[in-house]
Structure 1
Amino acid sequence: MPDIEAIANAATMIVNGYAFTNTIDGHVKVLNLNAPKSAVVLDSTGRVLETSMDDMEVGIVQDYYRNNREFMEVSHA
């Protein structure tokens, strides 16, 4: 079982119980904090690379990502 608190603290953004975390290779890992066996890896455009979610949940997560991805960008200031 993943350490939910550590994942939530390390997340770049949390939307409606989904923790979005940037990876070194430019992908985004998303974990459902309420159901930790439910996860997806997205590319920078929101396309699914890997998942354990059903299609409906993937669609919801993709919408959350696409509507909020501006908040995932790393500031280089």
Structure 2
Amino acid sequence: MVDVKQVADAADMIVNGYAFTRCAEGFRVLNLNRPDRAVVFSNDGKVLETSMDDIEVRIAGDYLEKNRKFMED
């Protein structure tokens, strides 16, 4: 099982219960309230892997696009 506190502490950004972390593929997103739900987005926003339903992927993707500027160096 995922250690939610560890993921949250290592996250680059947390928005409304979703932890966003940069990775080699692009961005990993974990729903901290439902740790069995995650998605990996490419740098251009395409879904590479997911255990989320379509609606939740859309929500996480929207949060990423609206807040990506806060994750820039």
Partner of 1:55: 54
**Paired AA for residue 3 in structure 1:** D
Over aligned residues, Cα RMSD in angstroms?
Answer: 0.8
Query: Do structure 1's residue 2 and structure 2's residue 2 form an aligned pair?
Result: yes
Query: Do structure 1's residue 14 and structure 2's residue 10 form an aligned pair?
Result: no
Using the TM superposition, give the Cα deviation of residue 26 of structure 1 relative to its aligned residue in structure 2, in angstroms.
Answer: 4.6
Q: What SS is found at the alignment partner of 2:39?
A: strand
**Paired AA for residue 8 in structure 1:** A
Larger Rg: 1
- Structure with greater proportional strand content: 2
Gaps of 5+ in 2: none
Using the TM superposition, give the Cα deviation of residue 36 of structure 1 relative to its aligned residue in structure 2, in angstroms.
Answer: 0.2
Gaps of 5+ in 1: none
TM-score, normalized by length of structure 2? 0.95
Using the TM superposition, give the Cα deviation of residue 27 of structure 1 relative to its aligned residue in structure 2, in angstroms.
Answer: 1.1
**Paired AA for residue 29 in structure 1:** R
| Matched residue count | 73
Distance (whole Å) between structure 2 residues aligned to residue 46 and residue 18 of structure 1: 16
Using the TM superposition, give the Cα deviation of residue 5 of structure 1 relative to its aligned residue in structure 2, in angstroms.
Answer: 0.4
Partner of 1:37: 36
